[in-house]
């Protein structure tokens, strides 16, 4: 009997990477690998890296070095880098980080089992050679679907799986294996991006925009529901472009109600929306469809017109505030989050003040603030009017303080609201808790995406179970987080459902 091969997947970065890791897990399990949670218990540690910004790259390198430290002290015999940083830098990363026994790109995913076995056997697989993935698909979106079958697109498409791995809903399942028991899972809606923001390198290593077919997205959602998932989050580099390569830019408006109708799914969330591409019909669907979260993850980045033009983006403070007014006129409780870059080349004091004016009026539920730094291969890296690092740092600290204050104020505005909260964690508030009154439970409301937007702390976890949707009234706040009291009728339903 062959020796059991074990592998651990360490995932960094965004939800898209989490989907890719579960695809890799599905491929490996289908080929006989045993998946373990801790790298120290694995023959091979596969680190799914992030290559977005410098801090993320550093985290990826640290994770690779940490996994390498396990060699010689436990079971771990090899460390392999995959993901965006590996795809983006390939051979350069391999030369700079000899601790990694392999650096594999997206093209290696289909043969991941063979690649790991070669490395485990002491062989050498040549490090991935980076290339501009935008050139792998036709310029015309209408021609991409047929060409896409020849291009590696992590997270796309179902395949036939061995008996026992396919779902009850049909003979085909996504090539995916869940790596945790969370009641929330991400689903890839598309890959790549056709926008050319001057600060962003993602299209160069993720490629041009290409949609998944609605039948594949629906099939994967049904499969996830059978695994106990209650909420799905649709992810891609730009969800508002979904369907343009399938002949229908409004395809998302049609798909969302179908996803909400999948048995077992309690909430559908859409992330990564471009303000310049928001359509009245999409806003209507997001704000009025049962089980679709009225949640708007809008990529504003800034609000000063001059800075936005330099970023190769569109809009201004008044347009953005008008968009938010439209959303809230249809769904007053709608959640809105966004990220912003401060210290962009050429940003003036007046530009910064304009951004602060927008933030103050926007009433956002969550705000991410980043200081500008050059990214390899981007247009902005060639700009001459760079700000001094200390100026960027000062502006980052200033806007971050404002953002923290504003999101706390927005949380306080929600006191008294009644929310539908998905329970995600339960346990004892204290180690020696002896009764149900000491049980703690956490969850998320419709305006809170996983890991980025805060959470709801229940005043009591008694009667709550993970994966249940509970009605609760907000009674307090802790910064961006909410404190909520489960309503009695909701608890009765929860307890009956648990039985």
> What is the C-alpha end-to-end distance of the chain, expressed in Å?
43
In whole angstroms, give the CA distance from residue 133 to residue 123.
28
DSSP 236-293: -S-GGGTTGGGT-TTHHHHHHHHHHTSTT--EEEE--B-GGG--HHHHHHHHHSTTB-
Q: Which SS3 state, helix, strand or coil, does residue 116 take?
A: helix
Greatest C-alpha distance within the chain: 71
| DSSP class of 301 | B
DSSP structure string for 10-48: EE-SSHHHHHHHHHHHHHHHHTTPEE-SSGGG-SEEEEE
HSE value, Cβ hemisphere, 13 Å, CA-based, for 461 = 21
Residue 197 marked as a ligand binder:
yes
**CA–CA distance, 141 with 194 (Å, rounded to integer):** 9
Can you tell me the distance from the alpha carbon of 66 to that of 219, in angstroms, rounded to the nearest whole number? 37
Question: Distance between CA atoms of 404 and 82, rounded to whole angstroms?
Answer: 34
Residue 197: what are its φ and ψ, rounded to 5°? -60, 135
Angstrom distance (rounded) from CA 87 to CA 91: 9
Q: Which of 316, 394, 321, 322 is nearest to 360 (CA)?
A: 321
493 annotated ligand-binding residue = no
Q: What angle do CA 349, 355, 360 make, to 5 degrees?
A: 125
Q: Name residue, tokens 């049904």.
A: 222
Cα–Cα distance, 354 to 101 (Å, whole number): 49
Beta strands in 288-363 (DSSP E): 295-297, 335-342
**Distance from C-alpha of 218 to C-alpha of 169, rounded to nearest angstrom:** 11
> Which residues are annotated binding-site positions for [4Fe-4S] cluster?
14, 50, 84, 193, 197, 200
> Which residues are annotated binding-site positions?
14, 50, 84, 193, 197, 200
């Amino acid at each position: 009997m062959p020796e059991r091969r074990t592998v651990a997947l360490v995932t960094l970065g965004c939800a898209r990477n989490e989907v890719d890791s579960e695809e890799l897990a599905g491929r490996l399990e289908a080929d006989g690998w045993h998946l373990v949670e801790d790298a120290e218990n694995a023959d091979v540690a596969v680190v799914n890296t992030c290559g977005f910004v410098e801090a993320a790259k550093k985290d990826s390198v640290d994770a690779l070095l940490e996994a390498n430290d396990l060699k010689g002290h436990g079971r771990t015999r090899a460390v392999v880098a995959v993901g965006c940083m590996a795809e983006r830098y390939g051979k350069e990363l391999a030369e700079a980080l000899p601790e990694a026994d392999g650096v594999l790109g997206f093209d290696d995913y289909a043969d991941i089992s063979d690649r790991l076995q070669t490395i485990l056997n002491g062989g050498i697989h040549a490090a991935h050679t980076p290339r501009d993935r935008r050139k792998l698909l036709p310029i015309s979106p209408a021609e991409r679907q047929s060409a896409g079958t020849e291009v590696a697109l992590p997270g796309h498409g179902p395949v036939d799986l061995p008996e026992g791995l396919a779902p009850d809903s049909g003979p085909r399942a996504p090539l995916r294996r869940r790596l945790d028991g969370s009641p929330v899972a991400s689903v890839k809606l598309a890959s790549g991006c056709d926008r050319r923001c001057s600060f962003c390198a993602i299209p160069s290593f993720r490629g041009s925009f290409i949609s998944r077919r609605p039948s594949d997205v629906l099939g994967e959602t049904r499969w996830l529901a059978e695994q106990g998932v209650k909420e799905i989050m649709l992810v891609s580099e730009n969800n508002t472009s979904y369907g343009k390569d399938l002949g229908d830019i409004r395809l998302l408006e049609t798909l969302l109600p179908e996803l909400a109708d999948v048995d077992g799914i309690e909430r559908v969330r859409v992330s990564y929306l471009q303000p310049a591409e928001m359509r009245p019909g999409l806003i209507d669907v997001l704000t009025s469809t049962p089980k679709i979260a009225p949640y708007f993850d809008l990529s504003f980045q800034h609000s000063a017109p001059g800075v936005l033009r330099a970023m190769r983006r569109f809009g201004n403070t008044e347009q953005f505030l008008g968009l938010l007014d439209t959303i809230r006129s249809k769904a007053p409780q709608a959640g809105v989050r966004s990220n912003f870059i401060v210290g962009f080349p050429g940003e003036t004091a007046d530009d910064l003040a304009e951004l602060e004016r927008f933030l103050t009026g926007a009433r956002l539920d969550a705000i991410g603030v980043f200081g500008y730094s050059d990214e390899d291969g981007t247009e902005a890296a060639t700009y001459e009017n760079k700000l001094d690092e200390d100026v960027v740092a000062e502006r980052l600290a200033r806007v971050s303080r404002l953002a923290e204050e504003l999101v706390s104020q927005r949380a306080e505005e929600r006191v008294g609201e009644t929310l539908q909260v998905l329970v995600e964690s339960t346990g004892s508030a204290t180690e020696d808790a002896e009764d149900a009154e000491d049980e703690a439970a956490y969850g998320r409301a419709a305006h809170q995406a996983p890991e980025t937007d805060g959470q709801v702390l229940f005043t009591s976890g008694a009667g709550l179970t993970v994966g249940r949707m509970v009605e609760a009234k907000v009674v307090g706040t802790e910064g961006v987080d909410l404190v909520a009291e489960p309503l009695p009728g909701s608890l009765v339903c929860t307890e009956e459902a648990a039985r």
